[in-house]
Amino acid sequence: MGDPLTQRQHRVLQTIERFVQDEGYTPSVREIGSVLGLAPATVQQHLEVLERKGYIRRSGQSHGIEVLSGGMPGGVVNVPIVGEIAAGAPIDAYEERLDTIAVAADMSPNGSAYALRVRGDSMIEDHICDGDIVIVEPVSTVRDGEIGVAMLDDGAVTLKRIFREADRVRLQPANADMAPIYAEDVRVQGRVTSIMRRL
183, β-bridge pairs:
169
Strands (E) across the chain are located at: 56-58, 65-67, 76-86, 91-92, 99-104, 114-119, 133-137, 147-151, 156-164, 169-172, 181-183, 187-196
* Strand 147-151 to 99-104 pairing: unpaired
Element housing 65 (H / E): strand 65-67
Quote the CA–CA distance of 54 and 69 in Å, as a whole number. Answer: 9
Out of 28, 62, 112, 122, the active site residue is 122
53 part of the active site:
no
Strands (E) across 87-186 are located at: 91-92, 99-104, 114-119, 133-137, 147-151, 156-164, 169-172, 181-183
Out of 59, 108, 112, 160, the active site residue is 160
160 part of the active site:
yes
DSSP 197: -
Q: Other CB atoms closer than 10 Å to residue 32's CB: what's the count?
A: 24
Q: Mutual orientation of helices 7-23 and 29-36 as an angle, nearest 10°?
A: 110
Catalytic sites, residue numbers: 122, 160
